[in-house]
């Protein structure tokens, strides 16, 4: 049998394709972290050569997808309980989980001056619709319901709540005018220490459980060097500066 010979060009193409595959990491990203991870991804690729491919959605929905075999290699959740649950169920690389950000909840309106800096607009109850993310799937939605309970307003506003599947949709309901105001992630309406538009009340942290957001390498990312590189990068100073610029704590 004659030996199979590859041309140098074809062989180099195979090598490049293999390297590109190894240097790409599939990441499930909580919707609230969309803007920060997009900024981080650009620096990550420039500094390491690895490429981050992100999908955005609600943490609870990602849990279901991961359990059903979705090809994600890293999970950036909007809470700490879901990654811990996956860890306990044997779906992660042990020792890889850490808190990459602590989120802040905001009550926001696209209208300037509509939301006061004490959140009194909620108690005044002059609005028709209040947007929140689905509290069963999105930790920011759960935090919103905790705020309403703490303020004694849950029953009063129950008929006015519109639910988004995730925090992005909750934000969109407000930004398009379908709801006068809504609970969103501060990162969606804040950058570099100032609001990006509209009016907002930054909800005091004591009104809801801490929104600790954990990252973890999933089983499918165990042998991908880009997954480990991303986790290291998220712990570094460049990523920290971006995360804090969007109103998160570390």
pLDDT at 23: 86
Question: Which residue(s) pair with 106 in the sheet?
Answer: 184, 202
Topology of domain 104-207 in CATH is D-Maltodextrin-Binding Protein; domain 2 (3.40.190)
Residue-wise pLDDT tens digits, 111-158: 999 999 999 999 999 999 999 999 998 999 999 999 999 999 999 999
Give 2's DSSP letter. Answer: P
- How are the residues of the chain apportioned to helix, strand and coil, as percentages rounded to the nearest 5? 45, 25, 30
Predicted pLDDT of residue 58: 93
pLDDT band of residue 19 (cuts 50, 70, 90) is: very low
Provide the token pair at 238: 């460049």
Q: Give the 3-state secondary structure of residue 63.
A: helix
Dist. CA 127–CA 181, nearest whole Å: 8
Q: What is the model's pLDDT at position 22?
A: 43
**pLDDT tens track for 188-232:** 999 887 889 999 999 999 999 999 999 999 999 999 999 999 999
| DSSP per-residue letters across 137-199 | T-HHHHHHHHHHHHTT-HHHHGGGEEEESSHHHHHHHHHTTSSSEEEEEGGGSEETTEESSSE
pLDDT at 2: 47
For residue 4, give both structure tokens: 């199979």
Mean pLDDT for the stretch of residues 24-50: 97
Q: Where does the chain hold its CATH 3.40.190.10 domain(s)?
A: 8-102+211-245, 104-207
CA distances from 151 to 16, 29, 120, 132, 209 (A): 58, 31, 11, 16, 14
Distances (CA, A) of 99 to 38, 46, 201: 19, 24, 25
Query: By C-alpha distance, which of 210, 249, 226, 222 is closest to 36?
Result: 249
Nearest to 138 by CA among 176, 108, 107, 103: 103
Q: Which run of H or E residues covers position 101?
A: strand 98-103
Residue tagged 């799937």 (tokens) = 137
pLDDT average, residue stretch 156-168? 96
Across-strand partners of 29?
56, 76
Closest CA to 33 of 83, 104, 94: 104
Residue 16 buriedness (CB in 10 A; 0-12 / 13-18 / 19+): exposed
Residue pointed to by tokens 């500094």 = 47
CA distance 17 to 152: 58
Position 171 scores a pLDDT of 97
Mean pLDDT of 168-195: 94
Q: What architecture is domain 8-102+211-245?
A: 3-Layer(aba) Sandwich (3.40)
- Average model confidence (pLDDT) across the chain: 91
């Amino acid at each position: 049998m004659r030996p199979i010979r590859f041309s140098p060009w074809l062989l180099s193409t195979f090598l490049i394709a293999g390297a590109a595959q190894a240097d790409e990491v599939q990441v499930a990203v909580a919707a609230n972290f969309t803007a920060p991870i997009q900024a981080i991804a650009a620096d990550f690729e420039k500094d390491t050569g690895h490429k981050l491919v992100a999908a955005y959605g609600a943490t609870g929905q990602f849990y279901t997808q991961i359990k059903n075999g979705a090809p994600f290699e890293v999970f950036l959740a909007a809470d700490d309980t879901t990654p811990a649950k996956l860890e306990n169920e044997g779906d992660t690389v042990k020792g890889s989980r850490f808190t990459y950000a602590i989120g802040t909840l905001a009550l926001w309106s696209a209208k300037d001056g509509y939301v006061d800096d004490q959140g009194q607009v909620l108690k005044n109850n002059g609005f028709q619709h209040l947007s929140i993310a689905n509290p069963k799937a999105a930790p920011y939605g759960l935090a919103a319901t905790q705020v309403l309970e703490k303020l004694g307003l849950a029953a009063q506003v129950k008929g006015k709540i519109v639910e988004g599947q995730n925090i992005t949709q909750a934000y969109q309901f407000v930004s398009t005018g379908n709801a006068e105001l809504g609970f969103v992630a501060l990162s969606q309406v804040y950058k570099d220490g100032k609001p990006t538009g509209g009016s907002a009340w930054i909800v005091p942290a004591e009104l809801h459980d801490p929104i600790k957001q954990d990252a973890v390498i999933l089983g499918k990312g165990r042998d991908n060097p880009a997954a480990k590189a991303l986790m290291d990068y998220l712990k570094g100073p460049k990523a920290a500066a971006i995360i804090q610029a969007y109103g998160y704590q570390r």
